[in-house]
Amino acid sequence: MKTVRITKPFEVEVVEEEMPVAREGEALLKVLYCGICGADVASYTGNQPFTTYPRIPGHEFSAKIVTVPANDKGLAPGDVVTCNPYFNCGKCYACKRGIVNACHDNQTMGVQRDGSFREYITMPVERIIPGKGLGGKELALIEPFSISAHALSRAAVRPGDNLLIMGAGPIGIFALIKAKSMGARVAVADLLESRLALAAEYGADLVINNNEGDLAQKCADFTSGNGFDVCVEACGAPETFLECIEQASHGANIILIGNGKRQTTFMHSIILKKELNIFGSRNAYTRDFESLIDLVASGKVDVLRMISGVVDPEDAKRAFDALANNDGSLAKMLIRFDKGDGDDN
């Protein structure tokens, strides 16, 4: 089978490997589409601290079931599905309390263990999530969508809430889509006009270009001077976290999705003064995937506009290079592993 592998930073090879053999309790899956995540790009550029090489990337994917053991989930050969790619130990303090997404020894496909950038994979049946009729492209977008949806589930988002998203990359846009489906009024801030244009397409009530230097005034006008009920940090930068604190209303919720690489220094008394609630967010639960599949299947949201391009495995390096040097014009890039009977929705 064809496999895409990062051998070391900035080097990608496409090789032929033996087909995997499903063990007890596992299904054999034929991969359809894989999304290239920011974590995959970080592995490619050598900026992912948890990656060892060589590594098969990929944890955003759709697949068709080839073989599956008897199960109580109604899964059968031919079903188009996605999977929960975060493998937890089941033994640590977090796992014992049901916080499996924050397992002390979490192993995410494509990062701490080999991922989905290959024609066939095996998966434990309990990690397979029925696609409920969605196409392969849509199902490959459910995992990044779940990251944002899980983050919003960390704090109450109510209809009519004023919500600020700092960062209009894919995770920020998915947070926008989810927040709008929850009835929030959403402002999105970014430095790149192309990303803000996509945010506007997805219904942002206000888009703010941070280069223009009037973010505070626009936020004040949008919230009638009250500040935002919820602020979502989707960049991982100290500056955007501090801006969330500044623009939050008294008693607001701040949710951190962006994975920071620099230290943040600030006077924490502002958190006390405003009595802010600050939530971290990591990975997602299977129930997050399931609820989003239902949402997309309902026709209320269209995630396909998030796709900027689809390439074959042989062009994986070109796609990695494009995303590593992204000027903001690219959202999600997919790799197509099935050119025959795979769903081309």
Mean pLDDT value across residues 261-288: 93
User: Using CA atoms, how far apart are residues 342 and 345, in angstroms rounded to an integer?
Assistant: 9
Mean pLDDT value across residues 291-308: 96
Mean pLDDT value across residues 34-48: 93
At 342 the pLDDT is 47
Contact in structure between 71 and 79 (CB atoms under 8 Å)? no
CATH superfamily of 2-146+284-336: Medium-chain alcohol dehydrogenases, catalytic domain (3.90.180.10)
What is this structure's pTM?
Answer: 0.94
At 340 the pLDDT is 58
Q: What is the CA radius of gyration of the chain?
A: 20
The mean predicted confidence, pLDDT, of the chain is 95
Of 107, 8, 113, the C-alpha closest to 54 is 8
Determine what percent of the chain is predicted with pLDDT higher than 90: 91
At 213 the pLDDT is 84
- Does residue 343 carry a pLDDT above 80? no
Give the burial string for 274-308 (b: 16+ CB within 10 Å, else e): bebbbbebbbbbbebbbbbbebbeeeebebeebbb
- Does residue 267 carry a pLDDT above 70? yes
- Reported as type and span, the H/E element at residue 206 is strand 206-209
Mean pLDDT value across residues 55-63: 97
At 341 the pLDDT is 45
User: Using CA atoms, how far apart are residues 330 and 305, in angstroms rounded to an integer?
Assistant: 11
Contact in structure between 285 and 100 (CB atoms under 8 Å)? yes
User: Using CA atoms, how far apart are residues 160 and 318, in angstroms rounded to an integer?
Assistant: 43
Mean pLDDT value across residues 138-167: 97
Judged by average pLDDT, the poorest of 36-40, 120-124, 249-253 is: 36-40
Contact in structure between 198 and 207 (CB atoms under 8 Å)? no
- Does residue 302 carry a pLDDT above 50? yes
Mean pLDDT value across residues 35-53: 92
Do 2-146+284-336 and 155-280 show the same overall fold? no
Domain spans of the chain, in order of start: 2-146+284-336, 155-280
What proportions of the chain, in percent to the nearest 5, are helix, strand and coil?
A: 30, 30, 40
Render pLDDT for 4-35 as a digit per residue (tens, 0 to 9): 999 999 999 999 999 999 999 999 999 999 99
Domain 155-280: CATH architecture, name and number where available:
3-Layer(aba) Sandwich (3.40)
- Does residue 187 carry a pLDDT above 90? yes
